[in-house]
Amino acid sequence: MVMNDNEHTSISSSDDKEKLLPEWKASADDQTLFLGLAVFVIFAGFLSWNFLFSSDDDDSEAAKTTQEESADIVTTVETAATQAAPAGPVEVKTTAAAKQFGEIDAAIAAQAGDVTGVRNGSAVTLTGWVADQAESDQAEKAASNVEGVETVDNQLQLLEPAVVAALEESQVVAPLADGTGTEVIVRGSLGQEEDRAPTLAAAGNVEGVTKVIDELTVSVTAELNELPKVNYQTGSAVIVNASFTDLDEAAEILNAADENVKIEIQGYTDTQGPDEANLTLSQNRAQSVYDYLVDTKGVDEQKLSVKGYGETEQFGTDLESNRLVRFQELG
């Protein structure tokens, strides 16, 4: 079909009027398409930007909020702690039962020995070890003075008598035990130095003893009986001259001995002759030794005593070994 110029001009004018941008040479349909795509790209870009950057801001804001809430919690705790801890001494409150037990513990804590107190209402039971009766009485009095205590069952064990018994079993002469609490001083005379270690061990094995202080001495009788025996004229109490040198040495030992030592001079005979005659002879022979030591050598008479035993104890199978004078420390 052939269009005239007027028709062509009319169509062009109508097309220009439908264009969004008349100066743009693209057709109206193309312009609409391009502008639609541009709007879509801008919108998509806006959504992407918001997705990429707004989430971080939200997270930061949420974290900030959490920190602020945590800070509020810490501040609240610190404030509460500050308010709960007043300045100055704080009175510790206990139950009535705990207070009673504390009072008993405090009462016996200052007492000597190893003392335990158990309270049941108004009754208290004391167990453990103390040195002597005086310490036991003190512990009992301290417990009875606690408010609310009416009866005290004192089951404390005394160490001094138990230690003395152990010393006696070890053949210690004149045994003594002097203690404070669970520590005990032991005194007395040993027959020989070799007896010291087992004797101290026996004292230390007494239940309740924590320390043994050694003040034991070796008996002077051990030295005296090691001297040659005193010889006499036959059938008499007269000392032969050869024995005076040995008696002089015995006098030196006795003069150096403790002033409280007590030693018995014992006379013995063999079994020949009448019993009564032998008893008298043994007494006279012991007396002659006493007289020489005291009257001639100046030994304190308070240290010595005399006794004749006759033939009551024999020291050997031959007659000669039973004719002698011995020294024995007395307890």
Do 237 and 292 fall into the same domain? yes
Do 167 and 181 fall into the same domain? yes
Q: Is 313 inside any structural domain?
A: yes
Task: Compute the distance between CA of residue 176 and CA of residue 161 in angstroms, rounded to an integer.
Answer: 9
Strand order through the sheet with 324-329: 304-310, 263-268, 324-329
How confident is the model at residue 5, as a pLDDT? 47
Neighbouring residues of 130: CB distance < 8 A, sequence distance ≥ 6: 111, 112, 113, 114, 115, 136, 139, 156, 157, 158, 159, 181, 182
Task: Compute the distance between CA of residue 146 and CA of residue 158 in angstroms, rounded to an integer.
Answer: 23
Do 172 and 271 fall into the same domain? no
User: Of 168, 185, 218, which residue is a domain's last?
Assistant: 218
Q: Is 60 inside any structural domain?
A: no
Do 275 and 200 fall into the same domain? no
Q: What is the tens place of the pLDDT at every residue in 119-133?
A: 898 999 999 999 999
Q: Is 145 inside any structural domain?
A: yes
User: Of 155, 177, 199, which residue is a domain's last?
Assistant: 155
Alpha helices in 85-95 (DSSP H): none
Strand order through the sheet with 211-218: 173-180, 183-190, 211-218
Do 211 and 306 fall into the same domain? no
Q: Is 301 inside any structural domain?
A: yes
Neighbouring residues of 133: CB distance < 8 A, sequence distance ≥ 6: 158
- Do 176 and 144 contact (CB within 8 A), yes or no? no
Q: What percent of the chain has pLDDT over 70?
A: 72
Task: Compute the distance between CA of residue 302 and CA of residue 294 in angstroms, rounded to an integer.
Answer: 10
Q: What is the mean pLDDT of residues 275-303?
A: 95
pLDDT at 161 over 60: yes
Neighbouring residues of 288: CB distance < 8 A, sequence distance ≥ 6: 232, 237, 238, 239
Do 234 and 211 fall into the same domain? no
Domain count, the chain: 4
Do 175 and 234 fall into the same domain? no
- Do 217 and 191 contact (CB within 8 A), yes or no? no
Task: Compute the distance between CA of residue 274 and CA of residue 278 in angstroms, rounded to an integer.
Answer: 6
Q: What is the CATH number of the domain that holds 172?
A: 3.30.300.130
How confident is the model at residue 273, as a pLDDT? 87
Q: Which two tokens stand for residue 66?
A: 């959490």
Q: 122 - beta bridge partners?
A: none
- Do 322 and 270 contact (CB within 8 A), yes or no? yes
Q: Is 64 inside any structural domain?
A: no
Q: Would you give the distance in Å from CA 124 to the centre of its chain? A: 24
Do 211 and 228 fall into the same domain? no
Q: What is the mean pLDDT of residues 165-173?
A: 94
Do 103 and 145 fall into the same domain? yes
Do 226 and 203 fall into the same domain? no
User: Of 137, 155, 173, which residue is a domain's last?
Assistant: 155
Domain enclosing residue 114, as ranges: 96-155
- Mean pLDDT across the chain: 79
Q: Is 2 inside any structural domain?
A: no
How confident is the model at residue 325, as a pLDDT? 92
- Do 231 and 243 contact (CB within 8 A), yes or no? yes
Element spanning 180, H or E: strand 173-180
pLDDT at 187 over 60: yes
How confident is the model at residue 25, as a pLDDT? 64
- Do 29 and 21 contact (CB within 8 A), yes or no? no
Q: Higher-confidence residue: 89 or 283?
A: 283
Q: Which two tokens stand for residue 232?
A: 């006499």
Q: What is the mean pLDDT of residues 179-208?
A: 94
Q: What is the CATH number of the domain that holds 261?
A: 3.30.1330.60
Q: Is 71 inside any structural domain?
A: no
How confident is the model at residue 97, as a pLDDT? 40
Q: Higher-confidence residue: 110 or 60?
A: 110
Report the Cα–Cα distance between both ends of the chain, in Å, rounded: 166
Do 150 and 187 fall into the same domain? no
Task: Compute the distance between CA of residue 131 and CA of residue 136 in angstroms, rounded to an integer.
Answer: 8
Q: What is the tens place of the pLDDT at every residue in 92-112?
A: 333 334 444 456 778 777 788
**pTM across the whole model:** 0.53
Do 277 and 212 fall into the same domain? no
Q: Higher-confidence residue: 157 or 16?
A: 157
Q: What is the mean pLDDT of residues 143-147?
A: 90
Q: How many residues does the chain have?
A: 331
Q: What is the tens place of the pLDDT at every residue in 212-259?
A: 999 998 888 888 988 998 999 888 999 999 999 999 999 999 999 888
C-beta neighbour count of 211 within 10 angstroms: 12
Q: Is 57 inside any structural domain?
A: no
Task: Compute the distance between CA of residue 284 and CA of residue 292 in angstroms, rounded to an integer.
Answer: 12
